[in-house]
Structure 1
Amino acid sequence: MSTSPAHMSEARRYSQLRAHLSYLKLNDAFEALPRVLDQARGENLSLTAALERLLEIEVEATESRRLAARERFACLPEPWTLSDFDFSAQPGVDEKLIRDLATLRFLDDASNVLFVGPPGVGKTMLSVALGRAAVDAGHRVYFTTAAELAAKCHKAALEGRWKTCMRFFAGPRLLIIDELGYLPLPEDGASALFQVINQRYLKSSTILSTNVGIADWASAFGDATVAAAMLDRLLHRAAVVGIDGPSYRLRHHQNHADSLRQGVNARVS
């Protein structure tokens, strides 16, 4: 059976198109090409509409991969979003301020956010929720605890990688430093934290959560000069969110325990 020149030409074009997609590493478009061509014939799509549909598949796949990469880099400890936070359970939180922060406008002028309050009131959850919003918006985010940051800086100094370590912490558009004051920092920890904050000053945003009141930083970190310099840079452009309410975490555990108790009582009765 013979094949007409027109059919041979279409076959060659199809083969060449697949080769082009493969060469350009448009792998998702490569895989979707047969399906899109079938849809184009079945739905009588124009050439422009078919091409747009094919490239849309590639763009969505690329963005999905980039989002996954940003999520891996961010190291957020939980998948919390702002919708997970129960503002009615924590009246100590200024909901209007938090929702304004969730617009991420503070990233535009490299402002900082400080969550200050006792353990369990939701500081970490809110920090992670804002970090999650930034990741979804396409920003580079990194989460660490103050103790982890100090340990990484100390190790880098011993191994002669101090400048590399500083560049790493300077890189993210948003750096989240959690649990400042929960554990004592090593001797050079406060200095390392100051240098990280100093190099990000007026360039990138930092979210910091702490159980230490601002007035007590000097005594808590053992170096009044470093503490004052750190606060000067953090507070120059900052939203300070003081949370002085009941433990959000303990309330959650209490509600869970009450639900279990009610279930047991219902079965017994």
Structure 2
Amino acid sequence: MKQSIYHQLHLTSLEVALPQLLQEASTQQWTYETLLQRALTTELEGREQKAIARRLKAARLPSAKTLEGFDFSFQPSLSERRLRELADLSFVRTCTNIVLLGPPGTGKTHLSVALANRALTAGHSVLFTTLSELAHALSTASHPGLVRSRLRHYITPSVLVIDEVGYTTLSQEQARYFFELVTARYEHGSIILTSNTSFASWGTLLGDDVLATALLDRLLHHAEVIAINGRSYRMKERQMDRAGVPAPAEATLSATGARAAGVGASA
């Protein structure tokens, strides 16, 4: 069956909206120029919504978190102003990395996804992964060509979110691939990374102190390091559900690791 002229011209959004537009044009006595402008605007808006949907699907974000949904009052050590400034996405334009350090449950993933969502809405490509998933995908590639293909998958997006750094100790091969990825993105794309481990412990994480130093040198050269020294949201919610009282304070992550790496971590 022959495709309609709308499909041939890729005007699929206009095809759906046209009957309603024609009815409004007749009712409100639009000029031909007004009708044409409304028709073209409808098609452009439809294309943008489809593009956002494609980018969102490709990003594999675990949730639809926003900065507006983050409870800054629960984490007083964290500067809301600083996060709002990052949300203007200048870090994407300058290929600056963002490193969020803190104990489990303090909102690191929420903030990383919120910033990634801002980037998506603004038209940037995004990909979310955990370090464990990333390491497994690269180390299980069956031949060098597949390794290069998978590396390109993580190198290409404007913003790469690497969550849960510190939960998995990498093999020598995985550590080398992680280093290659950070090196390839250095000054070419932004990384948003979350970790519950101070930089001083990355030698253990990678199984190689020299490699860890070289990786951190590239990761932190152009980076915003944000330490979240606070309580766990999950523990708070669990305590409130069970007893209706706030959760006790948890041990906080020391910022000494950041200082050891030569970066002033601040909140």
Matched, 1:170 2:182: no
**CA–CA distance in structure 2, aligned partners of residues 209 and 90 of structure 1:** 16
Question: Which amino acid is 2:179 matched to?
Answer: F
Q: How many residues are treated as equivalent by the alignment?
A: 243
- Listed as ranges, the matches of 1:16-165 within 5 Å are 20-156=5-141, 158=143, 160-165=145-150
Unmatched tracts of structure 1, length 5 or more = 1-17, 261-269
What is the CA deviation profile of residues 33-75 of structure 1, one whole-angstrom value per residue up to 9, with x for unaligned ones? 2322222121111111101111222112111111111111111
Question: Which amino acid is 2:94 matched to?
Answer: D
Per residue, is there more helix in 1 or in 2? Answer: 1
Question: Which amino acid is 2:87 matched to?
Answer: A
Q: Is the 8 A contact 2:172 2:206 kept in 1?
A: no
Matched, 1:179 2:164: yes
**CA–CA distance in structure 1, aligned partners of residues 115 and 52 of structure 2:** 16
Question: Which amino acid is 2:147 matched to?
Answer: W
Choose from 247, 251, 256 the match for 2:236: 251
Percent identical pairs in the alignment equals 39
**SS of the counterpart of 1:178?**
strand
Structure with greater Cα Rg: 1
TM-score by length of 2: 0.86
**CA–CA distance in structure 1, aligned partners of residues 142 and 192 of structure 2:** 24
Unmatched tracts of structure 2, length 5 or more = 246-267
CA drift at 1:218 = 1.6
Q: Is the 8 A contact 1:90 1:248 kept in 2?
A: no
Query: What does residue 185 of structure 2 align with?
Result: 200
Matched, 1:237 2:250: no
TM-score by length of 1: 0.85
**CA–CA distance in structure 2, aligned partners of residues 87 and 116 of structure 1:** 16
**CA–CA distance in structure 1, aligned partners of residues 98 and 4 of structure 2:** 50
CA drift at 1:219 = 2.7
CA drift at 1:91 = 1.6
What is the CA deviation profile of residues 115-152 of structure 1, one whole-angstrom value per residue up to 9, with x for unaligned ones? 11111111111111111111111110000000100001
**Root mean square deviation of aligned Cα:** 1.8
CA drift at 1:157 = 5.1
